[in-house]
Amino acid sequence: MKTAILCSGGDCAGMNPALKYYVEASLAGGDTPHFIYRGFEGLINGDIREVSYPDVSGIVARGGTMIRSARSERFKDPAARAAAAANLADKGIIGLIVLGGDGSNRGLELLCEEHQLRGVGIPATIDNDVAGSDYCIGVDSALNAIGRCLDQIRDTAASFRRAFVVETMGRDSGYLALVSAISSGAEICLIPEIPFDLDSISRRMRREFDSGREYAIAVVSEATDASNQLVSIFQEELEIDSRLTVLGHIQRGGSPTAFDRRIAFEFAEAAVEALQDMSKQATFLCYRGAAIAEHPPGALGTLFPETLMERARLLAR
């Protein structure tokens, strides 16, 4: 059987290990693997190539994706999806694996429904917001990158009477911000899933600074759009020198952690196996209860454990 894999949307550490294990599992099972370069955009353009072991040699430790990714507006057009399906048919490819987030999964679902293609979606996004999955490839690597930055910022903050507001990525999900705040010992955390009271936070920090606190670290999810407000509170209300650090795309890059490499292996193995099921069109994999499972596409939203949510409430008031 001829199959193919592509990466869609934002890149993340762990995509390259998934590509390597997909190729190895496919060849071991007698399939013929293909890479599609630049995501759905490349699929529309027919940028497809058969690959083998030498093509994935040494890529496990590399961040990002060697086959590149893209956000394809053209793929929203049924005519573009028809062209994509025709390109797969021309190569004799009947199974497609997509590494990406919620939007990528929805694109795969449409393609499979309209053109009788078999597809498997693997959750790969640092946002950790794919429905039904407790974990997505790339999250642990992003958390480690954020954690290193927060540790270094704390060193500087401790040398001054200063507050640092650190903004993390995550789109509409506060997962990265919350877990980073807890693991770094931050004094404040603002995420969209928990209501926060900036006046109450100001009063709390006033008490703490009056009691001897010398510095503070606040981790803020980009989804709250509250970073500048918090900086103003520190500077104008609390009269504490404050700095805003927007971590940006450093959260996506870097060598994948051992955990992301292992999860990529498990997802890739499961995806190749799922393509063998002739009775299904679109299958979406998820990580639930420390195991790979299947889940139908659905709304965004990762359910945080209540212990994390309780900690979030304490850091937001």
Q: Which residues are catalytic?
A: 127
For residue 147, give Cα distances in angstroms to 64, 189, 226, 303, 316.
19, 14, 21, 22, 19
Written as six digits, the tokens of 259 are 């955990």
One-letter amino acid for residue 20 of the chain: K
Tell me, rounded to whole angstroms, the distance of Cα 148 from its chain centroid. Answer: 18
Q: How far apart are CA 187 and CA 216, in angstroms?
A: 6
Q: What radius of gyration, in Å, describes the C-alpha atoms of the chain?
A: 22
Alpha helices in the chain (DSSP H): 15-28, 39-45, 78-90, 102-115, 139-157, 175-184, 198-210, 227-232, 258-274, 306-315
212 C-beta neighbours (distance < 10 Å), count? 6
Backbone φ and ψ of 222, nearest 5°? -60, -25
Tell me, rounded to whole angstroms, the distance of Cα 74 from its chain centroid. Answer: 23
β-pairing verdict for 162-168 and 118-123: unpaired
The residues facing 246 across adjacent strands are 167
Q: How far apart are CA 205 and CA 202, in angstroms?
A: 5
Q: Which of 124, 107, 122, 20 is nearest to 67 (CA)?
A: 20
Classify residue 213 as exposed, middle or buried by CB count within 10 Å of its CB (0-12, 13-18, 19+): middle
